Amino acid sequence: MAEGKRRAVGLSFATTLREAIVSIAANPVHTGLSVAGMALGAATAIAAIGVSATSQSQVDSVFDVYAQTQVTVVADDGDGPLLAPSEAVFEELPGVVAATTVARLQEFAVPGQSRSSGDPGSNVNVTVYAIGPSAVDALELGDWTGRPIDVGFHERGDAVAVVGAGVAHDLGLSPPYGETTVQIAGEEVTVIGVFAFSPRERQLTQAVLVPRSWSDRQGLAVTAQQLIVRVDVGAADVIARRAPGIVDPFEPERVTAAAPPTADALRAQVATKVGVLVFVMAAGALLVGSIGISNTALVGVLRRTGEFSLRRALGATPRDIARLVIVEGAILGFLSGLLGGVTGMLVVVGVSWVAGWTPLLEMGWVGIVAIGASVLGALFSAYPARRASALEPATGLRQIQ
Amino acid sequence: MAITLPFRDGVDGVSVLLEDVTKRYSGPPPVTALSEIRLRVDRHRHTVITGPSGSGKSTLVNIIGALDVVTSGRVSIDNNDLTEADERERAWFRRTKLGFVFQSSHLLPDRSVVENVELALVFRDGRAKPGHRSKAREALAAVGLDSRWSADTRHLSGGEGQRVAIARALVKQPSLIIMDEPTGNLDSHSAERMLALVRDVMSFGITVITATHDPIVRAAGDTVITMRDGRVESGQAIRG
């Protein structure tokens, strides 16, 4: 059989491709079932990528505003005395809007007010912060009822406080303010105002703020302290670089100034995190679709036992059969990717239209997904191909009599 | 139809030679389908293999058709020893030297009549060639179905399907056509027509081996071999 061995070449790839296309076209139900699962996966992948990319660009434009205009300075060992005197120095710098220390004092049990009679109610544990004179500007505290702590209160070290809306509710405080008092460390402190908006330090809406000058006079212990410097857009990087030398000219290395990442870096950071999440979702969706192709291919192998056996009788090698099944899987994957890709694009356009966003679309995604789905289709057809090629033609032909 | 003998004639006029062929299936349960078969099939004759169900007829034609391998013994087709052939060699032998007709015509439903016939040529040559269509039409003409060349195979009668199967076996000009219960799904009239066609095919110089239960087919053979329990019970030359 030397002649046979020499001439035993299989079907050409073009012929295999043609055979695969004819088989796929001739079995619309089988093809439809195979394509549906994978196309759903591909559509999910494209929609997830597209919607996340589109929404991400919207999110960036919103949260950049505060993040880009703040420098946060802390000193080693919470060295508060170093930070407070720096407020005025920072405020002299070009590009700085305002600066304030925010010193976290210990937690106090403050007697609440009875909502009906004004009698003392049960104690509420509240966190108290001591702030500098420019705190309202530096922290952009807003939505006031009553009044903020102005420079006069600070200079005199008056026993006054402003409270976040959350704490005001917990303590049962109500207007008019300026007459209501709360007890902090055994001292009567007059509440002069309530704020509901604290975009830079959101935890402050659940806290009581007192003048730093009053808390220093009372000798209240500071548990943590930072200096918040509100800057103009674009100034954060420069201010952050200069901050250690301003706070402690002798040992600047003890001071850390955190500037926000630049807009591009921030966007890249977010894009990376969202991208990884979306990639995992997309890969999962395609994987589910691939398993569908594998499953229907396996059922197809059982259904096509007679056909594969006939092909073997006509001279096909096991490799010819395996290659046919794998090429069919690749074609089905490609069709699924194409169909799913276009569907996913339409979903992105639809979601963007409803949300009033500008859709961010890359037509290249469809091509990438189609090729990726084709590769997955081929890979997940490997096992059915192995089963098909292992069919004994004599056995298969006997079964289909 | 201009069909020429494709294969060199053996000098001894022997088409198939089996020497002490045994075929065992490991099971479970283990089965000895053929036991020490010694058989000679002469060239250009119609040899009919008959016997009750389970006697080993189909196993024997599968081995002769290179669709199965022996457990022991030797198989030679037209002086080509298949005993040690691997799957690639047997595939090459099937695609170039042999034609098959089964009980079911095994036509691909997604192809037309002529495309089913062409498929044998595609496998023989490894790819589709421009001349395949005309050769397939010639083979269909030889079995009287040229007018149905473009028909959907799902619309063929059983007899027509088997004639297409014969055309598919014939088109690549094999030296040997193997038929396994070819009339099993046909009425007697269609079976008679098919046997007449087999006689026509043989006029092209092709050897035919048929495994069958059918007494009509048995009566049409030049030589009848009867099998029982995996052994040749008797061999009888009816004609020639």
List the single range of A121-125, B141-145, B149-153 with lowest mean pLDDT. Answer: A121-125
d(CA B21, CA B60): 9
**Which residue from A315, A323, A296, A312 is spatially nearest to A400, judged by alpha carbons?**
A312
Residue in chain B nearest A304 by alpha carbon: B108
Question: How close does chain A come to B207, measured CA to CA in Å?
Answer: 18
Question: How close does chain B come to A334, measured CA to CA in Å?
Answer: 22
For chain A, the C-alpha Rg in angstroms (whole number) is 35
Those residues of chain A whose CB sits closer than 8 Å to some CB in chain B are: 1, 4-5, 7-12, 14-15, 18, 22-23, 25-27, 306-307, 309-318, 392-394, 397-398, 400-401
CATH of domain B14-237: 3.40.50.300
For the cut 70, the answer to whether the pLDDT of residue A268 exceeds it is no
Which residues of chain A does B106 touch, with a Cβ-Cβ cutoff of 8 Å?
306-307, 309-310, 397, 400
- Tell me what ipTM this predicted complex has: 0.86
Mean pLDDT score, A290-296: 80
Which residues of chain B does A389 touch, with a Cβ-Cβ cutoff of 8 Å?
none
CB-CB contact of A80 with A225 (8 Å) = yes
Q: What is the tens place of the pLDDT at every residue in A105-119?
A: 888 777 776 544 455
- Say how many CB pairs under 8 Å bridge A and B: 102
Residue ranges per structural domain of chain B: 14-237
Question: How close does chain A come to B240, measured CA to CA in Å?
Answer: 31
* pLDDT value for B11: 42
Question: How close does chain B come to A32, measured CA to CA in Å?
Answer: 16
For the cut 50, the answer to whether the pLDDT of residue B5 exceeds it is no
Residue in chain A nearest B63 by alpha carbon: A394
**Which residue from A39, A27, A44 is spatially nearest to A336, judged by alpha carbons?**
A39
3-class SS at B145?
coil
Local confidence band at A130 (pLDDT 50, 70, 90 cut-offs): very high
Which residues of chain A does B118 touch, with a Cβ-Cβ cutoff of 8 Å?
none
Of the two residues B31 and B204, the one the predictor is more confident about is B31
* pLDDT value for A261: 64
Which residues of chain B does A303 touch, with a Cβ-Cβ cutoff of 8 Å?
none
Sequential DSSP letters for B176-201: EEEEESTTTTS-HHHHHHHHHHHHHH
Which residue is it, tokens 């490997």? A382
Mean pLDDT score, B84-102: 89
d(CA A240, CA A388): 67
Cβ distance of B106 and A397 shorter than 8 Å: yes
For the cut 80, the answer to whether the pLDDT of residue B156 exceeds it is yes
